[in-house]
Each structure stands twice: as C-alpha cells, then as structure tokens.
C-alpha cells in the first residue's frame, strides 16, 4: 500500500512536469511583413498541448489584397499542393481550399497592421512528424514558410 502511494505520487509529479513543459510550447507566434517574410524559419510546439494557439501579426502597411498573409499548417509534403489549390480557391476563400483534409489548421488572411489568431488541438499533430507552416497567398509560400518541429 505504501509503495503504491509512492508510485502514484511519482506519477503525479511526472504529470505536473509534463504539463509545465508543454505549456511553454503551445503557442506559435509569427510576424509577417511587406517584404513577404515571416520573422521565424522554425517554430516548435508540443503534440501534448490540449490546445495550440497560432498568432499572426502583419507588421507591414500594405492592404490584404496586395500583401495578404495567413498561416497554414500542414505536413511538409502537402504544402505545395495546398498552395496550388489555394490559388484556385481564390480570394473569396482567402486562398485556402475549402474542407481540405490536408490543412491541419489555418488563420484568417490579414493585411498590414492587422492581427489574427486561431487554436487547434495538439493531437492533430504527431511528435516527430514533418510539418511546415506557410502563407497561402498566391506566390508567397516560396518565401513565407518554415519548419514546424513537433515534440511529444
Ligand atoms: Zn503572405
């Protein structure tokens, strides 16, 4: 009985440590500018986060029609296909193909001076998988992309 209590206490401690670690990696915060760039080339999140928050701030001045930015999260292998189909989906769909299972998460499209954010469950990602974040505005994904590292 005593041993069992000790094991439970140890498990509780491990759980608390796991949560504290996850809490530091549950937000992806990106800035996009008028030079068609994100401020990060790589971001790290934890698949054990109940909720992952993606924040995007457009620090430029150009309007959304000329220099719109969003953040799309997908497997790296799906990025080019989503970007291509996003252009077909057009401005009316903010350049994201509708109901596309390859899109794990995406923010709204914003213009200069605007901010947006979304949340999605960490369990949508697998630790160690090959993921990317990118902007699906036509022509932007060649430059506006980065690696999304997913930890446990
Ligand atoms: Zn963009």
Which pLDDT belongs to residue 4?
A: 54
Which pLDDT belongs to residue 6?
A: 55
Which pLDDT belongs to residue 16?
A: 47
Task: Tell how far the Cα of 96 is from the centroid of ligand 1, in angstroms.
Answer: 12
CATH code of the domain covering residue 121: 2.60.40.420
Which pLDDT belongs to residue 142?
A: 96
Q: What are the start-end ranges of the E strands in 1-152?
A: 27-32, 42-46, 52-58, 72-75, 105-106, 115-120, 131-134, 145-151
Kindly give the pairing relationship between strand 72-75 and strand 115-120. Answer: unpaired
Residue 89: which domain range?
A: 25-151
47 inside domain: yes
Which pLDDT belongs to residue 11?
A: 45
Task: Tell how far the Cα of 69 is from the centroid of ligand 1, in angstroms.
Answer: 3
20 inside domain: no
Kindly give the pairing relationship between strand 72-75 and strand 27-32. Answer: unpaired
Task: Tell how far the Cα of 19 is from the centroid of ligand 1, in angstroms.
Answer: 33
Distance from C-alpha of 29 to C-alpha of 45, rounded to nearest angstrom: 11
In the chain, the number of structural domains is: 1
Task: Tell how far the Cα of 13 is from the centroid of ligand 1, in angstroms.
Answer: 43
pTM of the predicted model, to two decimals? Answer: 0.85
Task: Tell how far the Cα of 60 is from the centroid of ligand 1, in angstroms.
Answer: 11
7 inside domain: no
Residue ranges of the chain with per-residue pLDDT less than 50:
1, 7-8, 10-18, 20-24
């Amino acid at each position: 009985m005593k041993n069992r209590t000790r094991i439970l206490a140890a498990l509780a401690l491990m759980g608390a440590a796991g949560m504290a670690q996850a809490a530091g990696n549950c937000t992806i915060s990106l800035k996009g500018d008028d030079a068609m760039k994100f401020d990060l080339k790589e971001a790290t999140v934890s698949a054990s986060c109940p909720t992952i928050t993606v924040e995007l701030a457009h620090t430029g001045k150009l309007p959304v029609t000329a220099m719109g930015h969003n953040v799309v999260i997908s497997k790296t292998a799906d990025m080019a296909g989503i970007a291509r189909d996003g252009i077909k989906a057009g401005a009316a769909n903010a350049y994201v193909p509708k109901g596309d299972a390859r899109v794990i998460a995406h923010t709204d499209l914003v213009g200069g001076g605007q901010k947006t954010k979304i949340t999605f469950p960490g369990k949508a990602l697998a630790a160690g998988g090959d993921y990317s974040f990118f902007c699906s505005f036509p022509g932007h994904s060649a430059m506006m992309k980065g690696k999304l590292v997913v930890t446990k």
